Amino acid sequence: MLKILKNISQSVLGRFLTAFMVILLLINFMVLVTYVFHMHNIRSASLQQKIARHGVEIISLATLNPVKWQQYMMKAMQDPDVDIQITVSPNYQIKFTHHQTRWEIYDALQQDSTSAIGTLNYSYQLAKHKWLNVKINTYIHFERITLWVVFIGILTTLIIVFYSWSIQRFTDPLRTLTRATGKLGVDLDAKPLSVYGPNIVREAINSMNKMQERILALIKERTLTLAALSHDLRTPLTRLRLKAQFIRDQEQRDKFIYDLDEMQQMLNDTLILAKQHYKPQKMHSLDIVSLVEAICADMNELGCDVKFSATITRKVIKGDPLLLKRAIGNIINNAVKYGKAAVVNLEISAKNVIVTIDDRGPGIATAELDNVFEPFYRTESSRSKETGGTGLGLAIAKAVILSHDGVVSLSNLKAQGLRVTIRLPLNH
């Protein structure tokens, strides 16, 4: 029951229903406890007095009526709770004689321990060899009331539990579907969802699984097409590269080979993006500080102006080191290429590793900030032959970071330059 209430309480409607059900359970419990104490008091005092008084009244009626009317008196007083018989000998251990006063009999009956549970059996001597045997059971009325109260309480509890289970049965698969929908853009190869829950939820899960299958089929077809295209184009590109060697003009030959290299790079990057090489194949424990520092050191060895600083010396996270190196390296390379220099800073927040890359370039127009991560998108300032590029570097970088449940964003610095902010979760 506690597990059901915990699951239901995760939504706003669930919190209201949980509070309502808890209040009902508390009221039900309080009613039962109050009634139990009330019944205990009745049994311990009032019920004993009532049984004793009833017993004395029966004796009084039996002795006051004429003998010929005793049979009529017994029939009149017979009911499910009172049994009266006249025998030649006493049937019960408690016996009274006609010499005892009514008060003595009342006190004796009231003090009898058997009346504490609502039953009383006694014999009264009417005459020689003539005994009045009385069995009184007034507890049954109270027992019936108690049973009804307990039955209503149990029924209410069962209704609440069933209602809770019904809500959980409907909301639990919906929560699973919501989580799977959020992860679909990151991991298309995830296992299909288990189909369970109400019919309408089953239909939604089936539709989700079919959509995932169609997307996978489309991506597979696209990947095969691009792979075939890349394979088929490599042969003519190789022939063109060989023919370029026969160009006598050195300047024209270099330009021609540069164009071929750019085409080859574009094919390679397109194939990487199509094959989803940015998706982590296997997660490893890695030191993100050492990884970023090594990338900056490699760039400096190539003659680039890259500065690195960090607020910590070591931080281990889960990730694919090759893909993260490709992604962060692409961003730093862009900063050097278009911003002349890069300043890389790494710090830790409560939940994320934050890497910022600042450059000294002209920045990017605000309207284009959301577009630069799109495949093949290049700003006007990066379309020259000097900068080159295929327009896929940032797209691949963003895909890698998203596959690690991270976030990447762009913002212009106040003075000059562009800032790229990468946030990677500590507990990926």
Average pLDDT over residues 50-69: 74
pLDDT of the residue at 204: 81
Distance (Å) of CA 299 to CA 19, 47, 243, 278, 294 = 60, 96, 34, 21, 9
What CATH number does the domain located at 284-425 have?
A: 3.30.565.10
Percent of the chain with pLDDT over 70: 73
With a cut of 70, say whether residue 341 has pLDDT above it: yes
DSSP result, 191-213: PPPP--SSHHHHHHHHHHHHHHH
With a cut of 90, say whether residue 3 has pLDDT above it: no
Sign of CA dihedral 408, 410, 411, 415: positive
Query: Helix or strand or coil: residue 101?
Result: coil
The number of angstroms, rounded, from the C-alpha of 134 to the middle of its chain's C-alpha atoms is: 65
With a cut of 80, say whether residue 227 has pLDDT above it: no
With a cut of 90, say whether residue 181 has pLDDT above it: no
**Band of residue 187 on the pLDDT scale cut at 50, 70, 90:** low
Q: Which amino acid is located at 38 in the chain?
A: H
**Of the candidate ranges 73-77, 113-117, 196-200, 224-228, the one whose mean pLDDT is the lowest:** 113-117
**Band of residue 50 on the pLDDT scale cut at 50, 70, 90:** confident
Identify the top-confidence range among 13-27, 59-73, 395-409: 395-409
Distance CA(122)–CA(134), nearest Å, equals 6
pLDDT of the residue at 281: 60
Average pLDDT over residues 11-23: 61
Q: Which of 402, 177, 390, 168 is closest to 280 using CA atoms? A: 402
Distance CA(131)–CA(74), nearest Å, equals 13
**Of the candidate ranges 168-182, 278-292, 316-330, 372-386, the one whose mean pLDDT is the lowest:** 372-386
Tokens representing 412? 């212009």
Alpha helices in 66-194 (DSSP H): 70-77, 102-111, 139-184
Tokens representing 248? 């006598």
Q: Which residue has the higher pLDDT, 345 or 260?
A: 345
**Of the candidate ranges 2-11, 136-145, 204-213, 343-352, the one whose mean pLDDT is the lowest:** 2-11
Average pLDDT over residues 20-26: 69
Enumerate residues 6+ apart whose C-beta is below 8 A from 174: 197, 201
Percent of the chain with pLDDT over 90: 10
Query: Helix or strand or coil: residue 272?
Result: helix
pLDDT in tens, 280-337: 567 788 999 999 999 999 999 988 899 999 988 888 998 888 889 988 998 999 889 8
HSE at residue 317, side-chain half, CA atoms within 13 A, is 24
Average pLDDT over residues 235-247: 82
Distance CA(423)–CA(410), nearest Å, equals 12
Query: Helix or strand or coil: residue 91?
Result: coil
Max Cα–Cα distance, the chain, nearest Å = 151
For all residues of the chain together, what is the average pLDDT? 76
Q: Which residue has the higher pLDDT, 197 or 295?
A: 295
With a cut of 50, say whether residue 384 has pLDDT above it: no
DSSP result, 59-90: HHHHHHS-GGGHHHHHHHH-BTTEEEEEESS-
**Band of residue 344 on the pLDDT scale cut at 50, 70, 90:** very high
Q: Which of 23, 48, 186 is closest to 106 using CA atoms? A: 48
Query: What length does the chain have?
Result: 428
Tokens representing 285? 């424990």
Q: Which residue has the higher pLDDT, 393 or 12?
A: 393
Distance CA(183)–CA(391), nearest Å, equals 26
pLDDT of the residue at 139: 54
DSSP result, 210-226: HHHHHHHHHHHHHHHHH
Tokens representing 329? 């390296």
Helix axes 199-244, 250-274, angle to 10 degrees: 160
HSE at residue 240, side-chain half, CA atoms within 13 A, is 16
Distance CA(329)–CA(321), nearest Å, equals 12
Average pLDDT over residues 228-242: 78
**Of the candidate ranges 115-129, 136-150, 189-203, 400-414, the one whose mean pLDDT is the lowest:** 136-150
**Band of residue 140 on the pLDDT scale cut at 50, 70, 90:** very low
Task: Please tell me whether the overall predicted TM-score, pTM, comes out greater than 0.75 for this model.
Answer: no
**Band of residue 260 on the pLDDT scale cut at 50, 70, 90:** confident
Q: Which CATH architecture has domain 199-274?
A: Orthogonal Bundle (1.10)
In the chain, domain spans: 13-81+101-119+133-141, 199-274, 284-425
